[in-house]
Amino acid sequence: NPMGIVPADYHPAKPGGTGPFTLGSFEPGQVTVLKRNPDYWTEPPFVDEVHLLNFNDQDALVNALLSTQVDVVGQLPLALVDVINTDPRLHTVLSETGNWLPFTMRVDAAPFDDPRVRQAFRLVVDREQMVEQVFSGHGTVGNDMYSPFDPGTPRLQQRTRDIAKAKKLLADAGHPNGLEVELVTAPIQSGAVEAAQVFAEQASEAGITVKLRRVDSTTFFGDGYLEYPFSQDFWYTRNFLSQTAQGTVPGAPFNETHEADPEFRALYKKARATMDEKKRNQLMQQAQQLLHEKGGYIAWGFFNQADAYQNYVGGGFAHRIGMPVCGFHMRHLWIDQEGK
C-alpha cells in the first residue's frame, strides 16, 4: 500500500506533499482548512483558502447551500438535482461516472454457488427502472461488468429483464417454487437502501422472496462485511485491472463475492503482464465476459456525480473519476467577488 510509505519521523500534524494546498488545520468531524501553496510546481490555486465542512445530515447540507453558508456542495443527492436547478442563484455540474452500487452474491455460498441462480437474479432486474427510481434518472444502466470506460471492457449485448427465463433457471437449479434469501443493506451510499427495496419488489415477480435486513453502516462494515451471502457495496470509478486487484480475485482485500474462478484469474494475471495494449485489452475482454456470464456481481447501473455551486463560483467541471468537486481538483475554482 503506497499510502503506508512514509518517513519514520512523519507526524500527521505536519503532513508533507506536493499538492496545490497545504494543511492549515483539521478538526475531526467538523472542518478542514486548506491553504494555498505558494510553491506549487505549476499554476497555483485561484483561492487563498478552502474550508471543507462536515455535515451529518443531507437537509442541513442543502440548507447551507440555499442560505449561502457554503459556496459549493459536493455529492449533491441526485433526487435534489432538478430542485436545485430551479434556483436562479445556483447551478449544478453533473459528471457521468463509473461509480457503482452493486448487489454482491457469494459464489461459494448457497444458493449462489449455483451459477444458474446468479444468472436468474440478474435477469429479474429492471435496470432502467432502478436508475430512474434510485438515481432519479441521473445515471446509466450497467451490464454486470465494472469499469465502463476501460477499453478492455467488452461491448456485449445489454442484459435485460426476463422473468420467464429467470424462473426456468431457478427451476433447473432446484427451485421450481422460487426461493427465499436475505439481503443485507445499509445506508453506505445515497440510494443503497432504496436500491435494495426496489430489487426486492422486482424479484418477487420471479418467485424470489427477498427479506431485507437493514443495519447501520458501522455494523455493515463490521465483522460480517465480505461474508454476507447476499449484500451490497459501493465503489468509485476504477479501471478493470485495479478494480479486480481490489475485489475480484483470491487474496484481494475486498473479495466480497469470493470469486475464485481459475480461468478468470489466469486471464487477469496474463493481462497484467502483457505490455501490448491491444493484446491486453483482448485478455481483459475475455475475462470480463466470464464475469458477465457467471460472476457474483449484479452491476445494474452507474450513477452520476452531482456538484452544486453558487453562481459566483466558477471553474467547476465534469470529472469521470466520480469524486466530488471536479474530482477534488479545487485549484481550478475561483470566486467572482462582485457577483457574490
> Would you write out the chain's pLDDT as a tens digit for each of its 340 residues?
555 677 778 887 777 788 999 999 999 889 999 999 999 999 999 999 999 999 888 889 999 999 999 999 998 999 999 999 999 999 999 999 999 999 999 999 999 999 999 999 999 999 999 999 999 999 999 999 999 999 999 999 999 999 999 999 999 999 999 999 999 999 999 899 999 999 999 999 999 999 999 999 999 999 999 999 999 999 999 999 999 999 999 999 999 999 999 999 999 999 999 999 999 999 999 999 999 999 999 999 999 999 999 999 999 999 999 999 999 999 999 999 776 6
Where do the DSSP E strands lie in 142-280? Answer: 179-185, 208-214, 230-232
Q: Could you give phi then psi for residue 296, rounded to 5 degrees?
A: -100, 5
Instruction: Give every CB contact of residue 262 below 8 A, 6+ residues apart in sequence.
Output: none
Rg of the chain (C-alpha set): 22
Half-sphere exposure of 35 (CA within 13 A, CB side): 7
- Domains delineated in the chain: 21-97+305-335 (3.40.190.10), 103-302 (3.10.105.10)
What is residue 11's predicted lDDT score, i.e. its pLDDT?
80
Where do the DSSP E strands lie in the chain? Answer: 21-27, 31-36, 49-53, 72-73, 90-95, 103-105, 139-141, 179-185, 208-214, 230-232, 297-298, 301-303, 305-310, 313-314, 334-335
| Grid cell locating 202 | 422486482
- Is 179 in a helix, a strand, or coil? strand
- Is 25 in a helix, a strand, or coil? strand
Half-sphere exposure of 289 (CA within 13 A, CB side): 12
Q: Specify the pairing of strand 31-36 against strand 49-53.
A: antiparallel
Separation of alpha carbons 77 and 94, rounded Å: 11
What is residue 3's predicted lDDT score, i.e. its pLDDT?
55
Read off the DSSP letter of residue 50.
E
